[in-house]
Amino acid sequence: MPQAGVSQPPLARHSLNLVPEGTEPSLAADTFKAAFREHPAGVAVVTADPGEHPVAMTVSSLASVSTEPPLLVFSASVLSSSTPVLEDAETVVVHFLTDEQLWLAKLGADKGADRFADASAWQRLPTGEPLFPSAFAWIRGRVAHRLEAGNSILYVVHALEASVPGDAAHAGDPHPLVYHDRTWHRLGPWSAI
């Protein structure tokens, strides 16, 4: 949600279509999905609220792309019920999860769930965005660009604010949440090689 009395830049829209042009045949969708099932991915929950109602969705497509300026990207299927709200949102909050927040990852992935029914599980930041404070860490950012990418929209987000645990908080030895081959996993010291 925009801050009252603060001028906001124009909302970015689909500034580029990433669908390749040409006649070269594409890899079959099932083969493409099978290949990516073997690729582990970190798990995050993205929240937004452009003013009508908050949305939350679980994503495994999150990546950092730049530190100067700090930019991250994630994608959302055009079929997701959250995508129309993300299309109108100026800002988002990306929640980084550990195994202790598996419940939040499942909630964000549950089609049709009222992700904000438990009022004790979330709150609003002073800037208006929905926040799940139990997340291990979070970044609030402004949507800088939206890019059409086949049946998904790629969101480029300029990071503005974060809550990241300091070294003292790492004493609890958090285990990052990972998704691999349609199954939730946790990383820990035993997984280092």
DSSP state letters, 125-171: -TTS-EE-TTSSEEEEEEEEEEEEETTEEEEEEEEEEEE---GGGGG
More confident call, 33 vs 92? 92
DSSP H or E stretch at residue 84: helix 83-88
pLDDT at residue 46 in the model: 98
pLDDT band at 2; cut points 50, 70, 90: very low
Distance CA 51, CA 54 (A): 8
Q: How many CA atoms lie less than 13 Å away from 122 in the CB half-sphere?
A: 25
Condensed to tens digits (0 to 9), the pLDDT of residues 34-82 reads 999 989 999 999 999 998 899 999 999 999 999 999 999 999 999 999 9
Using 50, 70 and 90 to split pLDDT, how confident is the model at 6?
very low
Confidence (pLDDT) at 20: 72
Read off the pLDDT of residues 113-168 as tens digits, 9 standing for 90 and up.
Answer: 999 999 999 999 999 999 999 999 999 999 999 999 989 999 999 999 999 987 55
pLDDT category of residue 14 using cuts at 50, 70 and 90: low
What CATH topology corresponds to 40-186? Pnp Oxidase; Chain A (2.30.110)
